[in-house]
Amino acid sequence: MKIKIFLIVAIAIAVLAGGAAWLRHNGKPAQTDLTLQGNVDIRQVELAFNASGRIAKILVREGDRVKTGQALASLDTERLRLSLAQAEAQTAAQREVVARNLAGSRPEEIRQARAQRDAARATAADAEAIYQRQLDLVARNFVSRQQADSARFALDKAREQMKAAAETLRLAELGPRKEDIAAAQAILAANEAAAAGIRRDLQEGELLAPSDGVIQNRILEPGDMASPQKPVFTLAITDPVWVRVYLPENRLGRVPVGARAWVHSDSHPDKRYRAWVGFVSPSAEFTPKSVETTEIRASLVYQARVFACEGRDALRMGMPATVTIPLDQTAPTAGTDPCRNGK
């Protein structure tokens, strides 16, 4: 009798345990949304001049919104402007030297050299005639041999001058040597490079915003010495804005990259912002201590970035945020706009 009672009690316990298990696994609806906790994150850039000098103007303050290419600050560049003027003058002068060499001799210079050659030729002919007469007079003992020698020396000199005049004419006709032209062109290139370097220094004397953002810190002031190693501003880039969250390992396969999501913040509890999963880390890590999840903290998770499509003005750096991701979405087609598709 006792054995029968014991068996009945055991069967009842087994039935109750099985029913509880069934209710636990099948009695509640399957989870369709994944809720994650994270923090808003943005990129920050430290902006510094690429040149050294004294700051002349600061054009923005903390909290100012800036656009790509907007001037933020400038250096005192008066000395550079004077150097540029000198370099441009030297470049212009050397450019004329190159043009003169390329143009060659002027027609007037060639005619002048030809006239000098003809004059030297005539002088040589006259000296030869005088010498011949002196030889005849020496033969007749009318003059001394010394006078004939002087006439011969004059003839030799005239002939050499005629040769020099002929070579001068040939050089004028040939124009400058190609080596001289190349040297003049090299000097011109060096002058142009020096002027371009100074222009580049002038451009670097103005600090421009590399992208849209908000001035977070204004570090230096007018009168401070700036250098590439000393940041002037810290720029918070407002696009993109994302929430850094951590996907549990058992949900990784149910959240594809590009999946639609929603972002909520404590400062605007009645609003939710469209977003999308833009990045999932390829490597696992242990859950950071700052992340609040219902999972075991020692479990493996994968870092993900959920990019906001809207509400960028309301989502600030470091703000706690809640991300809701519908599970088992179809991965979007490559090249589609996830924000547009999320409407």
179/93 Cα distance (integer angstroms): 19
> Which span out of 96-105, 152-161, 226-235, 246-255 was modeled with the highest average pLDDT?
226-235
Answer for the pair 73, 232: CB distance below 8 angstroms, yes or no. Answer: yes
Q: Are strands 285-286 and 300-308 parallel, antiparallel or unpaired?
A: antiparallel
Q: How far is CA 20 from the centre of its chain?
A: 66
Top-confidence residue, 107 or 15? 107
Q: What pLDDT score does 105 carry?
A: 66
Higher pLDDT, 330 or 95: 95
- Asked if pLDDT for residue 28 goes beyond 80, the answer is no
With 0-12 / 13-18 / 19 or more C-beta atoms within 10 angstroms meaning exposed / middle / buried, residue 207 is buried
- Considering only residues 30 and 85, tell me which one the structure prediction assigns the higher pLDDT: 85
Sheet holding 53-58, edge to edge: 206-208, 71-75, 53-58, 225-226
Of 245, 260, 336, 244, nearest to 43 by C-alpha is: 244
Using pLDDT thresholds of 50, 70 and 90, give the confidence band for residue 25.
very low
Question: If pLDDT is split at 50, 70 and 90, which confidence band does 302 have?
Answer: confident
Contact between 124 and 158 (Cβ < 8 Å): yes
Question: Which range among 196-210, 275-289, 319-333 shows the weakest confidence by mean pLDDT?
Answer: 275-289
Same domain, residue pair 112 and 101: yes
Answer whether the bond into residue 269 is a cis peptide, omega within 30°.
no
Q: Can you tell me the mean pLDDT for 297-308?
A: 79
Buried b (16+ CB within 10 A) or exposed e, 250-264: ebeeebeebbbbbbb
pLDDT of residue 57: 92
Domain that holds residue 243: 28-43+234-341
The structural domain count of the chain equals: 3
Task: For residue 281, give the CATH number of its domain.
Answer: 2.40.30.170
For residue 284, pLDDT beyond 80: no
For residues 100 and 194, state if they share a domain: yes
Are 63 and 209 part of one and the same domain?
yes
Most confident of 36-45, 129-138, 248-257: 36-45
Residues 175 and 132 in one domain: yes
Of 253 and 73, more confident = 73
Alpha-carbon gap, residue 235 to 39, rounded angstroms: 19
Mean pLDDT, residues 277-295:
70
pLDDT of residue 220: 93
Task: Tell me which of 84 and 174 has the higher pLDDT.
Answer: 84
User: Is residue 1 situated within a structural domain?
Assistant: no
Query: Which two three-digit tokens encode residue 54?
Result: 């004294």
Residue 16 clears pLDDT 80, i.e. is over it: no
At residue 27, the pLDDT reads: 46
**76-99 pLDDT tens trace:** 988 889 999 999 999 999 998 888
Answer yes or no: is pLDDT of 259 > 50: yes
- Helix H or strand E encompassing 122: helix 107-139
Q: Are residues 142 and 165 in the same domain?
A: yes
What's residue 126's pLDDT? Answer: 76
pLDDT at site 89 = 94
Q: Do 258 and 275 fall within a single domain?
A: yes
Q: Cα separation of 216 and 237, whole Å?
A: 10
Residues 48 and 37 in one domain: no
- Residue that is last in its domain, among 232, 247, 275: 232
Looking at the predicted structure, is the pLDDT value of residue 23 above 50? Answer: no
What is the distance between the alpha carbons of residues 122 and 136, in angstroms, rounded to a whole number? 21
Interval 34-74: pLDDT, tens: 888 888 888 889 999 988 889 999 999 998 999 999 999 99
